Amino acid sequence: MTGLRINDLKKSFDSTTVLDNISFAVSEGEFCILLGPSGCGKTTILRLIAGLEQQDKGEIYIGEQEVSTLTPKERNIAMVFQSYALYPHLNVYENMSFSLRIKKTPGHEIDAVVKKTADLLDIADLLRRKPKELSGGQRQRVAIGRAIVRNPSLFLFDEPLSNLDAKLRTATRVELAKLHRKLGSTIVYVTHDQTEAMTLGQKIILLNNGIIQQIGTPDDLYGRPANVFVAGFIGSPQMNFIEGSVVVKDEKQFFRSPACTIDISNRPALKDYIGKNIIMGIRPEFLTPDEGPLTARIELVEHLGSETIIYARAAGIGITARILSGFQGREGQDITFSFDNKGIHFFHNGIRIA
């Protein structure tokens, strides 16, 4: 097992730049997530690592070796595709052993590895079936099995769960995490689903428009979003953004906006932004219906069982709050919210400042 290092990658298709200035490292045995909205270039990064595309600029190191000039075959990587891409004319056994047969591995070795992997993934009784005779979940396992059999230095997953139904997706997600623990392999995993990213990832690389927005642990991205995009992308429902400015009154600093005014004297970093326009972001789960500085009118209340989502409006700004169930308010009522200071972030020109 080896790590992966990417340095200053750039890729364009025709005249459109899809990736620029991409640099990151994945250490050995790490589960790394490439997260971002569709079209952000995350799959292209994966294809560049795999050697299915050539970058215009930059280097890719697998272990200590620079692999840019190598074919996919020589890079010793395995990839699990979104559509699984099982060979329809071959049965499960042949699908899993395909790469080994290309490599001309002796038959008894192939047999042993395929059997062992099939046992690991609980598909031993499916080996003689064709892909079309398998369910979605089973195909998924076969695709993962095909990757494991090769004993690659790096696993690449391209949205592997997006074709499964919601229930199976959750189950497979848990299985994947277990599998990673068992194999200890280095994984680069592409997804647009933040739940997958937060639960599976040890490191998340969040991309937008072909540019890295933030690299960090799930906690980093949630607790210290680098910019407005990250803050808005991570977390569901989305973070509330309130535009306003920093003002000083009676030797105290305040964040003032049409919706609310709050005391921010405990944030010394904001002193540099007095008189400037900034954005306050607060996650819905840090708003509590209580005596507080923010007054809003309820527009919709969603009771989800374990929790309740309140959609309200204050001075024309939509406010979302996520609270425990038991809330009795109705549409059209006025409500006040108190803030938990931990959940408040400030941004200037899109960048987090406090």
Question: Which residue, 72 or 293, has its beta carbon nearer to other proteins?
Answer: 72
Size of the site for other proteins (CB under 8 A): 33
Phi, psi angles (nearest 5°) of residue 328: -105, -5
- Shortest Å, Cβ 194 to other proteins: 23
User: Which of 15, 16, 64, 89 is close enough to bind other proteins by CB under 8 A?
Assistant: 89
Q: Considering only CA atoms, which of 186, 185, 84, 190 is closest in space to residue 143? A: 84
Q: Which of residues 152-191 bind other proteins (CB under 8 A)?
A: 163
Instruction: Report CA-CA distances (Å) from 211 to 24, 34, 102, 159, 224.
Output: 12, 12, 37, 19, 19
- Shortest Å, Cβ 103 to other proteins: 6
Under the criterion CB under 8 A, does residue 266 sit at the interface with other proteins?
Answer: no
Under the criterion CB under 8 A, does residue 130 sit at the interface with other proteins?
Answer: yes
- Contact code string over 94-113 relative to other proteins, x by CB under 8 A: ----xx--xx----------
- Shortest Å, Cβ 308 to other proteins: 36
- Residue 305 tokens read as 């069982």
Question: Which residue, 144 or 264, has its beta carbon nearer to other proteins?
Answer: 144
Question: Which residue, 152 or 210, has its beta carbon nearer to other proteins?
Answer: 152
Under the criterion CB under 8 A, does residue 136 sit at the interface with other proteins?
Answer: yes
Report how far residue 348's alpha carbon sits from residue 21's, in angstroms, rounded to the nearest whole number. Answer: 23
By CB under 8 A, which span of 28-36, 127-135, 183-191, 299-307 interacts with other proteins? Answer: 127-135
Under the criterion CB under 8 A, does residue 77 sit at the interface with other proteins?
Answer: yes
User: Which of 86, 113, 200, 312 is close enough to bind other proteins by CB under 8 A?
Assistant: 86
- Residue 178 tokens read as 């277990």
Question: Which residue, 54 or 325, has its beta carbon nearer to other proteins?
Answer: 54
Under the criterion CB under 8 A, does residue 193 sit at the interface with other proteins?
Answer: no
Report how far residue 193's alpha carbon sits from residue 178's, in angstroms, rounded to the nearest whole number. Answer: 19
By CB under 8 A, which span of 131-139, 211-219, 227-235, 261-269 interacts with other proteins? Answer: 131-139
Under the criterion CB under 8 A, does residue 93 sit at the interface with other proteins?
Answer: no
Query: SS in 3 state form for the chain?
Result: CCCEEEEEEEEEECCEEEEEEEEEEECCCCEEEEECCCCCCHHHHHHHHHCCCCCCEEEEEECCEECCCCCHHHHCEEEECCCCCCCCCCCHHHHHHHHHHHCCCCHHHHHHHHHHHHHHHCCHHHCCCCHHHCCHHHHHHHHHHHHHHCCCCEEEEECCCCCCCHHHHHHHHHHHHHHHHHHCCCEEEEECCHHHHHHHCCEEEEEECCEEEEEECHHHHHHCCCEHHHHHHCCCCCCEEEEEEEEEECCEEEEECCCCEEECCCCHHHHHHECCEEEEEECHHHEEEEEEEEEEEEEEEEECCCEEEEEEEECCEEEEEEEECCCCCCCCCEEEEEECHHHEEEEECCEECC
User: Which of 17, 82, 170, 236 is close enough to bind other proteins by CB under 8 A?
Assistant: 82
Under the criterion CB under 8 A, does residue 79 sit at the interface with other proteins?
Answer: yes
Q: Considering only CA atoms, which of 285, 208, 150 is closest in space to residue 18? A: 208
Under the criterion CB under 8 A, does residue 128 sit at the interface with other proteins?
Answer: no
- Shortest Å, Cβ 126 to other proteins: 13
By CB under 8 A, which span of 81-89, 231-239, 303-311, 330-338 interacts with other proteins? Answer: 81-89
Question: Which residue, 151 or 245, has its beta carbon nearer to other proteins?
Answer: 151
Question: Which residue, 43 or 194, has its beta carbon nearer to other proteins?
Answer: 43
By CB under 8 A, which span of 84-92, 184-192, 241-249, 336-344 interacts with other proteins? Answer: 84-92
Q: Which of residues 57-76 bind other proteins (CB under 8 A)?
A: 71-73
Contact footprint for other proteins (CB under 8 A): 47, 50-52, 71-73, 77-79, 81-89, 98-99, 102-103, 130-134, 136, 139, 146, 150, 163
